[in-house]
């Protein structure tokens, strides 16, 4: 499955267009390698996503084409979540 579609279906990112934009800016890594929105995601991959001052690392558990909101969390597991310090 494409990276941007996985992020939308799993509801990590709400809109596919936003997922595509973030990926194409180089803010997403798959297994520590830069990923584009068209990169393929498979079960077992580790995704590192940088949202503003937050960095989230998730492990892909399963790939499904469509899912209910209540079941979307089963597609991934959050491994790490860090926030950048604000020194203003």
Domain spans of the chain, in order of start: 3-83
CATH H-level superfamily of 3-83: RNA-binding S4 domain (3.10.290.10)
Helices vs. strands in the chain: H and E counts, helices first: 2, 5
For every residue of 27-64, DSSP letters joined together read: -EEETTEE--TT-B--TT-EEEEEETTEEEEEEE----
Q: Do residues 85 and 63 touch, judged by C-beta distance below 8 A? A: no
Pair type for strands 28-30 and 76-83: unpaired
pTM: 0.87
| Residue in this structure with the two tokens 């499904």, named with its chain if needed | 64
* Tens place of pLDDT per residue across the chain (88 aa): 999 999 999 999 999 999 999 999 999 999 999 999 999 999 999 999 998 889 999 999 999 998 898 899 999 999 999 998 765 5
């Amino acid at each position: 499955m494409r990276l941007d579609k996985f992020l939308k279906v799993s509801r990590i990112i709400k809109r596919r267009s936003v997922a595509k934009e973030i990926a194409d800016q180089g803010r997403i890594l798959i297994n520590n390698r830069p990923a584009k929105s068209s990169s393929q995601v498979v079960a077992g991959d580790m995704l590192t996503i940088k949202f503003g001052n937050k960095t989230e690392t998730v492990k892909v558990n399963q790939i499904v084409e469509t899912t209910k909101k209540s079941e979307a969390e089963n597609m991934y597991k959050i491994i790490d979540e860090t926030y950048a310090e604000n020194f203003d």
